[in-house]
């Protein structure tokens, strides 16, 4: 079963959330749908905050969910 993951925040989600879910729910394939991107203007080696939080994350989920459901219908069973 494919499960879409909408997560914001920082390093813990980026490096730890999907492996944690894989370990604890072995029958599922977890796909992170919120993008992980470096903020513009920061050096590549510098620590960055990866995701949005609060209302920004809610807005991003709304946008990404509509796009993903349009182009990947019937793939995800749980989100």
Q: pTM of the prediction? A: 0.63
Structural contact between residues 1 and 78, judged by C-beta atoms closer than 8 angstroms: yes
pLDDT tens for 22-57 read 999 999 998 887 755 555 555 555 444 456 677 877
The verdict on residue 14 lying in a domain is yes
pLDDT of 49 reads 47
Who has greater pLDDT, 27 or 13? 27
> Which backbone phi and psi does 9 adopt, to 5 degrees?
90, -145
Any domain includes 65: yes
Of 47 and 16, which is predicted with more confidence?
16
Question: How many CB atoms within 10 Å of residue 4?
Answer: 20
42 domain residue, yes or no:
no
43 is a domain residue: no
Number of domains in the chain: 1
Domain that holds residue 19: 2-36+48-78
Asked if pLDDT for residue 60 goes beyond 70, the answer is yes
Q: Is 60 domain-assigned?
A: yes
């Amino acid at each position: 079963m494919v499960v879409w993951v909408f997560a914001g925040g920082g390093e813990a989600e980026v490096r730890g959330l999907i492996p944690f879910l894989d370990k604890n729910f072995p029958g599922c394939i977890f796909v992170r749908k919120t993008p992980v991107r470096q903020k513009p203007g920061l050096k590549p080696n510098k620590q960055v905050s990866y995701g949005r939080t609060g209302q920004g994350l809610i807005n991003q989920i709304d946008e990404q969910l509509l796009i993903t459901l349009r182009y990947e219908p019937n793939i995800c069973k749980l989100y």
